[in-house]
Chain A
Amino acid sequence: MERLAPQPAPLTWRVATLARLQPETSSATTLILDVPEWPGHLAGQHVDVRLTAEDGYQAERSYSIASAPQDAHLALTVERIDDGEVSPYLTDELHPGDQLELRGPIGGYFTWNAADGGPLLLLGGGSGLVPLMAMLRHRAAAKSDAAATVLVSARSWEDVLYRDELATHDDHGVTVRYTLTREQPPGWAGWAGRVNLEMLRELGADPGVPLRVFVCGPTGFVEHVADVLVQLGHDPHRIKTERFGPTGG
C-alpha cells in the first residue's frame, strides 16, 4: 500500500482556482480546478473543501475526485443539495477564476491503481459513481486491460452522471449497465428498481472469481448492495465500500 501513496506529507490546505465548470445533470456540476503543487492522487481518493464566510464561520465537506491521476486538472463532481450549506455555493455561485480552499488527496483504502489489475466490479449509486469514474478514466489513461463491469444506479436516465463518456468506455473491456430506480424512459431496455441478486448474477458477480469490488453511494445503497453481494457468497472483506451518508451538502 505504501508504495502507492503519493504523499507522505502532512495534510495542508491549498488554494485552488476554478478553471471552468462543466454541467453534468440538472443537479450535478463538475468543477475543473487548477491546484498549484498538487502532489498527485490515486483513483478513488477524495478532497476536503473548506468555505469561510466573512464572519469567519467555516464549513467543510468531502468530495470525491472525478479526474484520473493522469489528467492535467483536478475535477470534482458536486451534487447540489438544495438546502445544503456548501454544494449550492460550489455549483451556482462559483465562477471561473474564483478560488477555494481544499486539502488532499485523502484516503488510501477505497482506491484502485492500474498496477493492482482486475477484474473490476464497480457499483455506484447516484453521485457514488464519481470515484468509480476516476477509476475508469485512470484505467483508460493507463491503457490497462483489466476487465471492468460497472453497474450504475440512478433515479432516472437524466440523473446518470457522465452518460456520454460512459458510452465511450463501454466495449473497450468495460461493460456498463444501468438500473433506474424511480423513473424509466419509454422503451427502456435496462434494469429498473434496486440492485438485486439477479442483476449481480447477470453481471458475473460470481464469488468464485477474484473480483476487485468497489461499492460507493449513499449509505442505504452501499449497505444494500454489500448485503446482496454477501448473499451471493462474496467475502465481505473483499468488498470495498465508501458511504456518502446523509450529507449536509
Chain B
Amino acid sequence: MEATEQHTDGNAIAGILQEIFVAEFTTLERTCQSCGDRNPAGAHRSYRGAGIVLRCPHCGDVALRLAVLPDEYVFELRGAWSRRSNT
C-alpha cells in the first residue's frame, strides 16, 4: 500500500463513523468552512495515516480528523454538518 498517497472516500470509513456516532454517517451533509460547497460525508475524500482525515471534495480543506486510541476515539469536526430530521 502506498502509504497515504491514494485516498478513498467517506464510504470507506462509514463503519467506524457509524460506530462512533451511532447513526448512518455518509448521508450527513457538510457545508465547507473554506469554500462553502455542500456535500454528503460519503462524497468527501478520506486519507489514512496515523489517523483518518476527511477532506472537502471541492477545496480539500479538512472536514474531520479522527484518531483511534486504545480505549477511545478522538475527533474534530469542521464546517457546518446537517442531518435531515424525520418530520
| A associates with B | yes
A interface list, Cβ under 8 A from B: 1-2, 5, 8, 10-11, 46, 48, 60, 62, 103-104, 106-110, 219-220, 236-237, 240-248
16 A-B pairs with C-beta separation under 8 A? A2-B84, A2-B86, A8-B23, A103-B15, A109-B11, A109-B26, A110-B26, A110-B42, A236-B57, A237-B39, A243-B11, A243-B12, A244-B8, A244-B12, A245-B12, A246-B1
Could you say which residues of chain B place their CB within 8 Å of the CB of A103?
15
B64 at the interface (CB under 8 A from A): no
Q: Output the least CB separation between B25 and chain A (Å).
A: 8
Q: Would you call A1 and B15 a contact (CB within 8 A)?
A: no
In the complex formed, the residue of B with least CB distance to A44 is: B11
A243 to B12, CA, bound (A): 7
Q: Would you call B43 and A1 a contact (CB within 8 A)?
A: no
Q: Would you call B2 and A246 a contact (CB within 8 A)?
A: yes
Q: Would you call A48 and B24 a contact (CB within 8 A)?
A: no
Q: Would you call A241 and B43 a contact (CB within 8 A)?
A: yes
Given the known inter-chain contacts A5-B24, A11-B19, please indicate yes or no for A107 contacting B11, CB distance below 8 A. Answer: yes
Could you say which residues of chain A place their CB within 8 Å of the CB of B24?
5, 107-108
Q: Would you call A219 and B1 a contact (CB within 8 A)?
A: no
Of residues 1 through 33 on chain B, the ones whose CB sits less than 8 Å from some CB of chain A are 1-2, 5-12, 14-15, 18-19, 22-24, 26-27
The listed residue (A1, A10, A11, A245) touching B6 by CB distance below 8 A is A245
Q: Would you call A110 and B11 a contact (CB within 8 A)?
A: yes
Q: Would you call A219 and B14 a contact (CB within 8 A)?
A: no
The listed residue (B2, B19, B26, B57) touching A107 by CB distance below 8 A is B26
Q: Would you call B27 and A1 a contact (CB within 8 A)?
A: yes
In the complex formed, the residue of A with least CB distance to B3 is: A246
A83 to B18, CA, bound (A): 29
Q: Would you call B43 and A109 a contact (CB within 8 A)?
A: yes
Q: Would you call B15 and A104 a contact (CB within 8 A)?
A: yes
**New A-B pairs, 12, CB < 8 Å, besides A48-B15, A240-B42, A246-B6:** A2-B84, A46-B14, A62-B15, A103-B15, A107-B42, A108-B42, A109-B40, A219-B8, A241-B43, A242-B42, A243-B8, A245-B6
Interface centre among B6, B14, B42, B86 (most CB of A within 10 A): B14
Q: Output the least CB separation between B7 and chain A (Å).
A: 6
In the complex formed, the residue of B with least CB distance to A220 is: B6
A108 to B10, CA, bound (A): 11
The listed residue (B2, B57, B84) touching A1 by CB distance below 8 A is B84
Could you say which residues of chain B place their CB within 8 Å of the CB of A248?
1
Interface centre among B9, B11, B14 (most CB of A within 10 A): B11
Q: Would you call B43 and A240 a contact (CB within 8 A)?
A: yes
B41 at the interface (CB under 8 A from A): yes
Q: Output the least CB separation between B8 and chain A (Å).
A: 4
Q: Output the least CB separation between B63 and chain A (Å).
A: 14
In the complex formed, the residue of A with least CB distance to B39 is: A237
In the A-B complex, the 8 residue pairs with the closest CB atoms: A109-B42, A245-B8, A109-B26, A108-B27, A48-B15, A108-B24, A243-B8, A107-B14
